[in-house]
């Protein structure tokens, strides 16, 4: 197995960190790999906020659905989908006057632009995760950063055409985290389809969860996941928050 595949296959989320600082050269290497991520139109439609103030980390540990380990992470990066930088640049370059001159309306960032910016930010984030892993650093995504849009906007002075799409916590893993077994995944045959989408049958669901080492009674597990994850308070808040952001993004 080559080194890249080994890093990809051995990686797991790390949620407990040694009290060991991350050297500047290691941070620089992670950043360098992050910035080399593919990016739509080579526009780099993302920004990263390196959260260094303990006060901010402590706040995030609460606002991101009460996850205390965030406050203990030596390095916390907030990834923003960011169309603000380019739209500011367009305005600075006189596109408003140019549109008027051509008799066409000025187009502002819309939902599709937000999706592309989210793609850029997430792809860059995953480069950071893999680069960090290759340097012995563990990491964990925090999706709950998409909750509490208004609070996070104010906390980090975020302008209209930005959205915090993920938070990454980094640190050297404790022995407990190193020893913890990897999580399982669904078999590839339930994920990779040929040419067209394949809705799963009842038997296939049984096989899918059985192969993963889970329950043979998927209805129970499905119900528990529905209430524990899909319809949990944090999911309800996530959807409220994203709706609020979309309203602000489109000028509502
Ligand atoms: C979009 C996204 C959001 C996530 N949010 C959280 C989170 O808020 N808290 C957390 O502890 N883990 C979070 N995770 C990590 C997942 O729980 C983890 O990737 C999953 O359980 C599989 O485990 P593994 O990464 O160790 O293989 C998130 C992962 C992704 C990709």
Per-residue pLDDT, averaged over 127-149, amounts to: 98
Report the predicted TM-score, pTM, of the whole model to 2 decimal places. Answer: 0.96
Q: What percent of the chain has pLDDT above 90?
A: 93
- Average pLDDT across the chain, whole number: 96
Could you tell me if the CB of 134 is within 6 A of ligand 1?
no
Q: Which of 48-52, 140-144, 205-209, 241-245 has the lowest mean pLDDT?
A: 205-209
CA-wise closest residue to 30 among 135, 167, 139, 162:
135
Say what the pLDDT of residue 219 is: 66
With beta carbons less than 8 A apart as the criterion, state whether 117 and 196 touch.
Answer: no
Per-residue pLDDT, averaged over 208-226, amounts to: 78
CA distances for 79 relative to 40, 126, 143, 166, 187, angstroms = 16, 11, 11, 5, 30
Could you tell me if the CB of 142 is within 6 A of ligand 1?
yes
Per-residue pLDDT, averaged over 91-115, amounts to: 98
Q: How far is the CA of 229 from the centre of ligand 1 (A)?
A: 12
Could you tell me if the CB of 190 is within 6 A of ligand 1?
no
């Amino acid at each position: 197995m080559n080194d890249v595949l080994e890093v990809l296959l051995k990686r797991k989320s790390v949620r407990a960190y040694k009290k060991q600082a991350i050297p500047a050269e290691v941070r620089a290497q992670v950043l360098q790999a992050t910035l080399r991520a593919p990016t739509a139109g080579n526009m780099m439609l993302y920004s990263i906020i390196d959260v260094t103030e303990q006060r901010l980390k402590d706040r995030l540990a609460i606002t991101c659905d009460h996850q205390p380990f965030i406050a203990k992470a030596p390095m916390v990066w907030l990834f923003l989908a960011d169309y603000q930088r380019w739209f500011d640049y367009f305005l600075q370059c006189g596109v408003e006057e140019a549109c008027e001159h051509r008799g066409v309306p000025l187009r502002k960032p819309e939902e599709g632009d937000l999706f592309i910016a989210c793609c850029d930010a997430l792809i860059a984030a995953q480069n950071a995760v893999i680069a960090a892993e290759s340097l012995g650093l563990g990491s964990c995504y925090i999706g709950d950063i998409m909750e509490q849009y208004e609070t996070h906007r104010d906390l980090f002075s975020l302008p209209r055409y930005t959205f915090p799409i993920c938070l990454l916590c980094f640190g050297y893993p404790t022995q407990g985290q190193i020893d913890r077994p990897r999580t399982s995944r669904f078999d590839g045959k339930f994920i990779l389809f040929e040419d067209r989408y394949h809705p799963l049958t009842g038997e296939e669901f049984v096989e899918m969860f059985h192969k993963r080492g889970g329950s043979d009674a998927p209805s129970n597990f499905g119900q528990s996941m529905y209430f524990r994850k899909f319809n949990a308070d944090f999911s309800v808040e996530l959807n409220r928050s994203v709706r609020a952001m979309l309203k602000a993004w489109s000028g509502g």
